[in-house]
A and B are shown apart, each in its own frame.
Chain A
Amino acid sequence: MKTENLEQDVKALIADIIEMDPDQIDSDAHLVEDLGMDSMMALEILAAIEKKYKLQIPEEELPKITTVNKAIELARKYVK
């Protein structure tokens, strides 16, 4: 699995879900407060990461996806 572009790839997944240009998304941006996301979108991000990297992430990790960086961190944790 190619992971050298993980940061950009996860950002692109998030950008696709929230319908924003990846370049306009600040990695420290809070997904709910700054990007107007809701809990369903967080689940979509989780599902998109699982699909892209063909892995399973437990439900308990879901509340941890609060910023773009946290989502990237989570992907990095599970991608071998």
Chain B
Amino acid sequence: MSSELATPAQLDFEQIKQIIPQRFPFLMLDRVVEIEPGVRVVGFKNLTGNEWFYQGHFPKKAITPGAMLCEAIAQTGIVFFHVTQPVQDDVTYLLGSMKIRFLEPVWPGDQLRITVTPVKLTSRAGILNGEVSVDGKVVAKGEFALAAKENSSL
């Protein structure tokens, strides 16, 4: 990853794709609006009624799956990890654990504001806090562990 991407003030969708490997239909981050390496990363994901997961969750009442909120947190975590201590090797980021509490249902049309802050970081892994809010109200929060694993070891 080029160093000029390590410290911008914001990241647009195309820049996010240069950092995280997820793609449609699994990209849960549209924009990164705050970057403080080692301190905090804040991103947005705009949910539309067209999201693929609403087809099945649920057919009669679209509600955002908690798993997708976890994915949005994890992807923001990858950005956090990347801007804080870029790993140059060919790696894949894996989740070790995720302890999340879901506080409010999330609906089509909601804009997720995802904030990730560190609990404990090492050179190749981290325990991070994740919080998702909609219109200033926290809808999910918790702690998760993320590690950069070399693809050759997977």
Contact = CB atoms under 8 A, between A and B. Distances in A.
B147 A39 contact: yes
**Taking chain A's interface residues, is the majority helix, strand, or loop, or is none over half, making it mixed?**
helix
A40 interface: yes
Interface in B96-154: 96-97, 119-120, 122-123, 125-127, 145, 147
Contacts, number: 31
B122 A44 contact: no
Contacts of A46: 120
Of the four ranges (under 10, 10 to 19, 20 to 34, 35 or more), the interface on chain B belongs to 10 to 19
A43 B123 contact: no
Chain A interface extent, by class = 10 to 19
A14 B119 CA distance: 17
A40 B126 CA distance: 8
Contacts of B97: 40-41, 44
Contacts of B96: 38, 40-41, 43-44
Nearest to B94: A40
Contacts of A74: none
Contacts of B123: 59
A46 B126 CA distance: 11
Interface of B: 96-97, 119-120, 122-123, 125-127, 145, 147
Interface of A: 38-41, 43-44, 46-47, 50-51, 59, 62
